[in-house]
Structures are given as structure tokens and as C-alpha cells.
Chains A and B, each alone.
Chain A
Amino acid sequence: MTAPPRRRIDKLGALLSAASAAALLLLPFVVFKANRILPGDPHSLLEVLPPWGAAGCLATLGFAAAVALSARGARLRFAAALLGLLAVALAVAAAANALTPPGDKVVRVAPGGAFWLLLVCLLLMATDAITRMRPGPAQRVLLLALFFVIAGTALAHGTFDNLSVMREYAVNAARFAREARQHVYLALGSLGAAVVVALPIGILCHRVPRVRSAILGALNVIETIPAIALFGILMAPLAALAAALPWATRLGISGIGAAPAAVALFLYALLPIVANTVVGLRRVSRAAVEAARGMGMTPWQVLTRIELVLALPVILTGIRVVLVQNIGMVTIAALIGGGGLGTFVFQGIGQTAIDLVLLGAIPIIVLAFSAAVLLDALVEVTDRAQA
């Protein structure tokens, strides 16, 4: 009766497979540099891997492409993308090991254009498959944890030690730990301070409509000031504060450094949290609030047990926006001596050492991505609790 469904070629799969194939043919898989700032020699996958290694890697990628082109099952597509990522990661590590003379600390083997493009294509395939699988919040957090376990194991095992980025890490290990910690402190600290200040302001805006547009307008203006300009604006008052109050200096407050960065991030964080608090409180059912009052809850109980609980998913969405935004913006703090992973990015740019840039940029991306996954899961859990 019913004709078998015609096998259709997956459009995204076709695009990703074509891009990957073109990348493998036209772009270098790794770039060999005699030292960190010299321009490098391109090498293709086939040149640098032993024949069986190259064959294995290409076979795995071919399988992933076949799945991407034709398979419908999201789980299969996810597994194939994961296998492809594993193959590419192992190939680039093997290439680095093969090209590096034993004991050499000067030569650099950096991933080339083909590697990056393959990485992007496979990640797109994986995220597309994850979206189709519709994992619950717990599963998404579990996937994230799995990623950290695999990546952590590989790094601890030294799989990528001969790769240029890890070479930079080996040189900067102590500083890396310090700047990473500083990065997280700045992002979370300014977020925490902003939450403490923005929640009451949001509640005030909700309760007193007359002040709402004035406050939101002022915060909107802050949001339009470019970060660098805001750092500049803050330098003078903070420097004056430090000059006037000796204890302020002892607390680490000065015109440049972490203080203006933290203050700027704090200011940027206010608008999303205040705005979402207002929106969240506004969508709380008026009847529920009226009933809560009518049954004898105190104003504090109405606020904490009914209004804020019901507004929580929207407020958390604001916090998620701020956290991801903060993790990105802390990078710029390095420009005014605020520290953080941006230090490596700007140092790398200054030295035209792209590997050093990557040493800062990759962890920032991973941090922001993890924060987004974790808070999205949290938003969904709280939202589902009140259906």
C-alpha cells in the first residue's frame, strides 16, 4: 500500500561532508614551524601519518560522512560525529608526535586549516544530533561531564603534549593556573555582586512603576558604553579613590588592574538581571499573589515563597546571559592589567604567536560553553518544577 519512503540525502550532512572533503584536499592538516614565530610548512594528513594511521582516520571520517549523509537516527549520528572527533584529535596528536624530533622543545606543530574545519563540521554534526535527541537537563550536564572526563584524561596523559598549544602551556603552566583562577573570580565575583544589587532594584522597579523607566533607562545607557571606554571612565575615579584612601589601595583598588574590570563587569551585569527580574515578577499570576496575601502571608513571605520562586526561571535566564557575557568580557580586562586568560590572548597577538592566543581563547570558549549548558539546565529544572 504505502511506498517505502525514498531515501533522502540529509542537507546539513551533505554540506558538512563536502566542506570536510574540500578541507582535507585543499588545506594543510598541520603546520610545522621551526620555532614559534616563524611561518610554517603545511602538511597534509597523508604526508604526516603512517599509511595505516591515515587509512584508519580517513575510514572513520568516511563512515561519519556516510552517516551524516543518509542516517536518520540521532543517536547514530551523534556516535558517528563523536568517533570522527576522536579520530581527528588522535590524528593531530600523532602528527605532532611524528613531526617533532625526540627531545626537541623549539619546533612547533600547530593544527592547520583542515583540522579546524573538520573540528567545526564534526561539532556541528554532534550538536545537531544532540538537539534532535532532545536530552533532558540532567543528560546534558552528564554529556558535559563526559566531555571533561575525556578531555581531562587526554591532557593528563600527555596525548597532545607535542602540539603547539600544549607547548605554550608547558612554558606557562604556573601562570596559566593563576590567570584561569583570576578569570573565573572576576566573572563570578562581578556576577555575584550584580545579583545582590540587581535583585532588590528589580523588585523595586516592579513595585514602583514610576521609577522603572528611569532605572532601566540609566542601565541601558551603561550597556551602550563600549567596554574599553568604560574602563577608561572608571580609571580616574578609582585612581582618585585609591589616592584618597590608603586602605582602598590595600584592598587592591587602583585606577588600572582588576578593580576597574570588576566594576565594569558589575555595571554591565545589572541591566540583564534587573530587566529579567522585572519581567519575571510581572508574569507571576496576580491572582496567586492576591490569594497569598489574602491567606495571611506576610509581605516577605509573599515575595520569597511566591513571587521570587515563580519568577526564578526568568531571573536565572538573565543570570545565564550575564555569566556567559562576563566570561567573554573578562578577556578584555587583560588590556588594563586585570589579568585573566585574556592575558595570553593579547600577549599572543603582540608576539604574533597564534598558539599563545589559542592557549587563552580555547579555555575561555570551554568556560563560556560550560556555563551556558549548566545554567540552561538549571533554568529548565526550575521552569519544569512549576510547569
Chain B
Amino acid sequence: MIRIDDLTKQYDATAVVDHVSFTVERNSITVIVGTSGSGKSTLLRMINRLVEPSSGRVLLEGSDTRSEPAHLLRRRIGYVIQGHGLFPHRTVAENIATVPRLLKWDEARIRARVEELLNVFQLDPATYAQAFPHQLSGGQQQRVGVARALAAEPAVLLMDEPFGALDPIIRTKAQDDLLDIQHRFGTTIVLVTHDMDEAFRLGDRVAVMSQGRLLQYDRPVTLLTHPADPLVSRMTGVADRAMKLLSLTSAGEAALPGGAAEGLTVPASASLREVLSELLWRGATCAVVLGEDGTPCGQLTVAAILARGRP
């Protein structure tokens, strides 16, 4: 659990981050979203003390982050930046081993951890362990960057626009991978982005920032249904807010009992937005929802979906 307590960063007279407080739940993904200059990056960098706060404090599992030297704190917190920041003179394996080496793990443990992470991130150790960063594709470099941040099994992972440099298709894949990783390791993730769709897709909770102030900190659904500030609805988008709302609910959650034995089928993991799109495309009004085991677990009608698209 990370408690951000009345955190302020002032450069000369201007407050870049202005009395911000919120609490990040353990094992969740919190996305800080805002336009450029909103102070979101500065806020993130105050958590691992790359920027020292002017006032306020950050509590990590109850203890003030200033109770230990900054570099020791940072070794316990994963950090991923835009453009990956891999060390060009070190191999992929050496890059991933950076923090374990700083923590003086023994070599066997480091080797095992590097191999495990390469496998988790779908990078064949035989091919990639000894490769240099410039020999990898953009998506692979990004994965190595995340693997490096997770190497020492940190409980918290900070990510500053981690997918900003990727093209849209690879970005979607990277976002899916991140959700998998989060389930697998249970890491608490705080991620900064300017992309509201990314925030909605990844965030259990989203912190919306503007001009150094925290406008709202809530679940994505609540941001749409009960925006705390006109600026929040402007940022989440008014024109397609119904569709955004639909994309936040899965077919499995919304399925109604019953259903025809045959007809259009959709997986339970699909979002209502995807189901509606499919129904429109096929000219159908009703779909059978299939559970993970492939058996029907309910049905969805256009009317039922439409009912979900309003607050």
C-alpha cells in the first residue's frame, strides 16, 4: 500500500504538484492520467524520490520513504520509463540483472531469475540473453525494460509512459502482457500516461490530474458516471462516453440467465462494446455468452446492453 499524503512540489513560485493525497491499494493498478504539464510524472518520481517533495510525504507499507537513503529505496521499487532506457553497452541478461547485482544476490540466483523473466516475457534465453539492446525490436526492448524493473521482485512498480514509444498494435499487446504480469506477480503498479483509453484499459483506479492538482481519484466507471469536475468529463470524452462505459463491463458480468441453444455466441471475456459491435455487424439482437469452458452461461440482448450504457 502506498499512501501519498499532501504531496507538493514547488519550483520557484509555481507548484508543479499541488497538495495531492490518495492511497494506492496493494496488488492493484493505479493509473495517473493528465495532459502534459499536469504534474503526473513529477508525482510519480516523488514516490521513488527521483524528485524530492517540497512538502508532504509518501508512506510505503506504512513507513516514510525518507527513512532510508534514496538509492536503497529505489532498489526496492521497480521503475520503467518511456523509451526503455536500456544500457546500450550491456547485454539483455546484464540489463535485467542490474538491480539484483546492486543487491549483491549470488550469481546462481541472478541467472535463474534472469532466465525466468526472459521466459515470462516470451524472449527465448538462448537467443536473447546475450543479445545487445540495439539488436532487439521496439516491443522486445520495452519488454526487457519491464523485466529489468521486476528483476529484484519489487512489491511496487512505477511506470512512466511505458508504452508511449510503441505503435498501436504492439502497445495493445504490451498492455495485455502487463495485466498478465500483474496477475502473476501481484505487483502494485502505478502507471503514468496521457492516454485516457490506456488509463481505462489498465487502471483499477485512475487519478486524473490537471495543473498539479488531483481532480478525481476513482474507479474508471465512476469517472464516467460521476465526474467530480467538468474537466474530468472533458478529458474522459463526452461524445463516446456511453461506448467507453460499455467497454468497461465484460459480457460475463452482464449476462442474463437463459438463452437460445443456437445463434450468435460471444466469449464471456469480451466487453459489452465488442458484443454490441458484433450484434450490429451481424444484424442480430441476441447473443449467447460462452464461459471459459465453452458452455453457455447466459445471454445478452441489445436492449440489455443499451441499458448498461447509461449511468
Name A's B-contacting residues (CB within 8 A).
285, 287-298, 301, 306, 309-310, 385-387
* Contact call B148/A295, Cβ cutoff below 8 A: yes
| 5 examples of A-B residue contacts, CB within 8 angstroms | A287-B82, A287-B85, A288-B87, A291-B85, A297-B102
Q: Is the interface of A mostly helix, strand, loop or mixed?
A: helix
**Other contacts beyond A287-B82, A294-B79, A310-B89: 4, CB < 8 A:** A290-B50, A291-B85, A309-B89, A387-B134
In the assembled complex, the Cα of A296 lies from the Cα of B81 at a distance in Å of: 14
A152 to chain B, nearest CB (A): 37
Do the beta carbons of A387 and B85 come within 8 Å of each other? Answer: no
Nearest CB of chain B from residue A302's CB, rounded to whole Å: 9
Q: Which residues of B contact A288 (CB under 8 A)?
A: 85-88
Contact present for A295 and B132 (CB under 8 Å):
no
The distance in angstroms between the C-alpha atoms of A288 and B134, with both chains bound, is 13
Residues of chain B within 8 A of A298, CB atoms compared? 71
Bound CA–CA A298/B89 (angstroms):
19
CB of B7 within 8 Å of the partner chain: no
Residues from chain A with Cβ under 8 Å of B74 in the complex: 293-296
**A385–B99 CB distance below 8 A:** no
B149 contacts across to A, CB distance below 8 A = 295
Given A287-B81, A298-B71, A387-B132, A293 and B87 touching (CB < 8 A)? Answer: no
The answer to whether B83 and A296 touch across the interface, beta carbons within 8 angstroms, is no
Query: Hey, what's the 0/1 contact readout for B38-74 against A, CB within 8 Å counting as 1?
Result: 0000000000101000000000000000000001111
Interface majority SS (helix, strand, loop, mixed), chain B = mixed
- Inter-chain CA distance A291–B87, complex, in Å, is 9
With a CB–CB cut-off of 8 A, which chain A residues contact B48?
Answer: 294
Q: Are B88 and A295 in contact (CB under 8 A)?
A: no
Residues in B whose Cβ lies below 8 Å from that of A297: 71, 102
- State whether A285 touches B88 (Cβ < 8 A): yes
Do A295 and B98 have beta carbons less than 8 Å apart? Answer: yes
Q: Is the CB of A385 within 8 A of B89?
A: yes
Q: Which of A293, A296, A301 contacts B72 (CB 8 A)?
A: A296
Within the complex, which residue of A290, A296, A306, A310 is in contact with B75, where a contact is CB–CB below 8 Å? A296
A301 to B158, CA, bound (A): 22
Contact present for A310 and B88 (CB under 8 Å): yes
A298 CA to B71 CA, complexed, in Å: 6
B103 to chain A, nearest CB (A): 8
Contact of A387 with B88 in the complex, beta carbons under 8 Å: yes
Asked whether A285 lies within 8 Å of B85 as measured between CB atoms, the reply is yes
Question: Residue B194 at the A interface, CB < 8 A?
Answer: no
Residues of B within 8 A of A386 (CB): 88-89
In the bound assembly, the distance between CA atoms of A291 and B76 in angstroms comes to 14
Could you tell me the distance in whole angstroms from the C-beta of A297 to the nearest C-beta in chain B?
7
How many whole Å from A299's CB to the nearest CB in chain B?
Answer: 8
Q: Closest A residue to B73 by CB, please name it.
A: A296
Say if the beta carbon of B113 comes within 8 Å of chain A: no
Q: Nearest residue in A to B132 (C-beta to C-beta)? A: A387
Give complex CA distance A301, B104 in Å: 14
Task: Give every chain B residue within 8 A of A289 (Cβ-Cβ).
Answer: 85
**A385 contacts across to B, CB distance below 8 A:** 89
Nearest CB in chain A: distance from B51 CB, A: 11
